[in-house]
Amino acid sequence: MGQDDTSKVWFGHHKSENGLWCYADGSFQPVQVDLDSDLRKIQCDREGRMWCSTSEGVLYQDGDGFSKFTPADGLPHPAVKAVFHDREHQYWFATWGGVGLYDAHSISIFDFSARVSESVSEVSQIVQDSRGDIWVGSVSPVFKYQSNSVFRFDGKAIDLIGSEDDFDINNCFAIYEDHDGYLWFGGINGLFRYDGQKIEKIETTAGSSSICAIAQDGEGQFLFGHWEKKKDKRQKDLFTSPLRLTYQRGEEFQTIFVKDKNQDPRSYIGTVIAGRNGEVYFYLAHQHFSDNNRGFARWHPKDGLKFYGVEDGLIDDRVSDLLLDRHGNLWVATQGGLAYFDGSTFQTFTTEDGLPSNRIHCLIEDSQGHLWLGTDGGVVHYDGRLFQTIKSSHIGPVLQILEDRDGAFYFGTAQNTLVRYRQRQTSPRVRLLQVVADQVYENPQNIIVSTTDQQMTFEYKGLSFSTHPRDMLYIYRLKGYDLDWQPPTRKMRAYYRDLPPGDYTFQVRAIDRDLNYSEIAQTQLSVERDPRISALTSIINSTDGVGKEFIGESVALHAFQIQLTKVAATDLSVLFKGETGVGKGLAARVLHALSSKCDGPFMQVNCGALPATLIDSELFGHERGAFTSAVSRKLGKVELAKGGTLFLDEIGDMTLETQARMLRLLEEGTYERVGGSETLSIQARIVAATNRDLEEMVSAGTFREDLYYRINAFPMSLPPLRERKEDIPDLAELFKTRMAAHLDKQIDPLAVEVIEVLQAYDWPGNVRELEHTINRAVIVCQDSQIEVADIGLISSSTPVFTDREVVPLAEIERRYILKMLKVANWKIKGIGGAAALLGLNPGTLYGKMRKLGIKRPDKEHI
């Protein structure tokens, strides 16, 4: 028996047709598996996968069923007693024939360091010749003398090629197989050639100069990178001027680059590439990168020589390798990241895009057209969509990579080891573990939640024999919300907030380190409108148009509406706060319509519109003769609101004297008419509103502190329109339809470009200003379509360029993206997000933001 990671208990029986059972939730369930042999042990590994050791192999959980390992797969013996899953993600099998290790990593290590006794060295070159042998070159990091710096590897044994073979190259910097099958070697002691039988030294036009780079063009003409060496006072080899790059032209050699004054003895010419159209690419390398690096160079017979560096858009001048891919595009490895050059512009990739390290040492293109990078953080595989790192304790910084003709890869490391790696073609699996919303949904299939549950968390996990779940990449999307798959992540959960009502499908795929993609795991999700919002909408629709403007699907508005429905059922005094035009009076009317006093009157007093001498009379009424013009008794709004709601708009404009009487009204529930002596009782709910800072007024002594605390029993802040711009389309359509009906005009739905202009404006006057703007547009539009010009707005967030201002294209793009981010309130993806407004994939927008240095401000500054 054994227990899995979900606490289910598994039981097995020897050679039984129903030999495997699972106990969960108080009952036994049979597990469909072919147990045709003795069952010896049941175990659960670190990933939750169940293993059954038998006398005829080992069964392992593979998705919904079981698969089997036998001696045909490499087990030492069919009788397996136990399985052990270690920390390095390797599987060990105890059998009657000994212990077997499952090669999940497909890695073999070949160490050259023991064959080199002179000094520490590192792999500098890996080349496979036409005979299938692999040649490895090494160098000393400090250029110390090395007699043994070339090795030949036939896949089984390592042969050292050194001075005893009349091959004293002294640090191998270049190995190249030419079009005729000859191998060329370049090092401190010059140029050598191997014809398959023997190695001979080749004199160059530069005499005894050292060779650091070898290449051929399409016509078979050679290019050589040269040093010249000298001795220092201690008789040690150094390298001095000139650094030269020569190009064979028939029997002649043309110098296409020369650096006369090479002050640094460890500078040399790095990778040299001959392009299809006569161009040559190269860079100046340095064994220990300095601040004097110049990027890379391009030479052409017609165009001459040009260097490209940071000032041209290259991410870093410290270049470490070049690659010309099958499409003719140049890839540049630097100490600051990876660059892609199409001949005019650079695209940059760094750790923010998935690289384990920005220090890149080498590049190759494999037989599938994929890119492989050797970095300080290991080997990276790039398929044009995402970067995946091959992690292993056996792989450190990788300096050279080779794909052999059988599809195996060789990694040359800084420890002078050669790592052979074989990719696996078996796809991983992925499963959804649970969804967390209003509750935890385990084994989710169909989930129904309301918009009240603002955050949804989808948790998932990949399964692979070659890659630990935390080292996998995951891509996911919420169909119906995301426009495309989200950028790859190593996180095993996805978050969504504030989903609008609708039906969605969450999908996820796992990607192992060999860039094998799993099948899609998915679950259905239905988001229903919050029942309280639905009730509010129903009430609004049944109250003769009261609160029709109180519409929208924004998170800010929904949060306010939910609060409103809660407080409406009470008798608490409510204070609405907010800017001018946000709809405080409308909110008060909706509150009244939702309350138990909805059948009573709604009486409104604008405290700021009445003179101080009249506000008492307006509120409390007056008796005949109370003042000169009081020719008869008048009932005040407090009395008229009996059984209903009294709304005090702009209460911050109330005089201190009136504030005292209002305080008594709230504390004792009594008042007298002006000029009267009869004490009356209030029988109405009091609701107030202000656009002023009452706390500041209390501090200044212009508003009574005791009154403030009385009316502030339940404060509610209405969001300004700039914080709920996703509601603008619905509001604009409402105002347009209403005004068009009033004028008896036929107006088409608002065009996308009109909506974009409306959403780009900050609306200091809020909903009221929007209504007036739409009303004006309906009046002035000539035809049935409202044009942008009819709106008459200039966005306060639109970048302004003067006639004299010269703005780079990247800056224009940066400003426009920034504007759209502000329009979307820094929402990136989904409906109403900046990516949708810009017509971009969210992943593309994230990349542009990184490239242009756009960062989300702190929440308090948004």
Among all chains, which residue has been given the structure tokens 């020719």? 631
Of the candidate CATH numbers 3.10.20.30, 3.40.47.10, 3.40.50.720, 3.40.50.300, the domain formed by 531-719 belongs to 3.40.50.300
Cα distances (Å, whole numbers) of residue 352 to 355, 387, 496, 516, 846: 7, 11, 22, 22, 10
Side-chain half-sphere CA neighbours of 192 within 13 A:
25
pLDDT digits (tens, 9 = 90+) for 725-758: 888 998 899 889 888 888 888 999 999 999 999 9
CB pairs under 8 A, 24+ apart, for 679-682?
Answer: 680/638, 680/639, 682/638, 682/646
Write the DSSP symbol of residue 342: -
pLDDT digits (tens, 9 = 90+) for 586-613: 889 888 888 888 889 999 888 877 776 7
pLDDT beyond 90 at 213? yes
Banded pLDDT at 32 (limits 50, 70, 90): confident
Banded pLDDT at 548 (limits 50, 70, 90): low
* Fold of the 722-852 domain: Helicase, Ruva Protein; domain 3 (1.10.8)
pLDDT (average), residues 382-386: 90
pLDDT beyond 60 at 100? yes
Banded pLDDT at 796 (limits 50, 70, 90): very low
pLDDT digits (tens, 9 = 90+) for 196-208: 888 888 887 655 5
pLDDT digits (tens, 9 = 90+) for 298-348: 999 999 999 999 999 999 999 999 999 999 999 999 999 999 998 889 999
pLDDT beyond 80 at 17? no
pLDDT digits (tens, 9 = 90+) for 504-524: 999 999 999 889 999 999 999
pLDDT of residue 101: 77
pLDDT of residue 574: 94
pLDDT of residue 803: 47
Q: For all residues of the chain together, what is the average pLDDT?
A: 83
pLDDT of residue 90: 76
pLDDT beyond 80 at 146? no
Closest Cα to residue 214, out of 178, 188, 162? 178
Cα distances (Å, whole numbers) of residue 803 to 795, 799, 812, 814: 19, 13, 14, 19
Lowest mean pLDDT among 138-147, 284-293, 795-804: 795-804
**pTM exceeds 0.75 for this model:** no
Coil, strand, or helix at residue 458? strand
pLDDT beyond 60 at 688? yes
pLDDT digits (tens, 9 = 90+) for 248-271: 877 788 888 887 665 566 678 899
pLDDT digits (tens, 9 = 90+) for 439-469: 888 877 778 776 655 688 999 999 887 788 8
Domain locations in the chain? 2-102, 121-359, 429-527, 531-719, 722-852
CATH architecture of the domain covering 429-527 = Sandwich (2.60)
Residue 333 burial (CB count, 10 A): 25
CATH architecture of the domain covering 121-359 = 7 Propeller (2.130)
Coil, strand, or helix at residue 569? coil
pLDDT beyond 90 at 37? no
Higher pLDDT, 813 or 162: 813
Q: Rounded to an integer, what distance in angstroms lies between the CA atom of residue 6 and that of residue 166?
A: 66
Number of alpha helices (DSSP H) and beta strands (DSSP E) in the chain: 15, 56
pLDDT (average), residues 847-853: 82
Structure tokens at 90: 């390797």
Q: Rounded to an integer, what distance in angstroms lies between the CA atom of residue 278 and that of residue 246?
A: 14
pLDDT digits (tens, 9 = 90+) for 59-99: 888 766 788 888 877 788 989 999 998 876 778 899 998 88
pLDDT of residue 804: 47
pLDDT (average), residues 561-585: 88
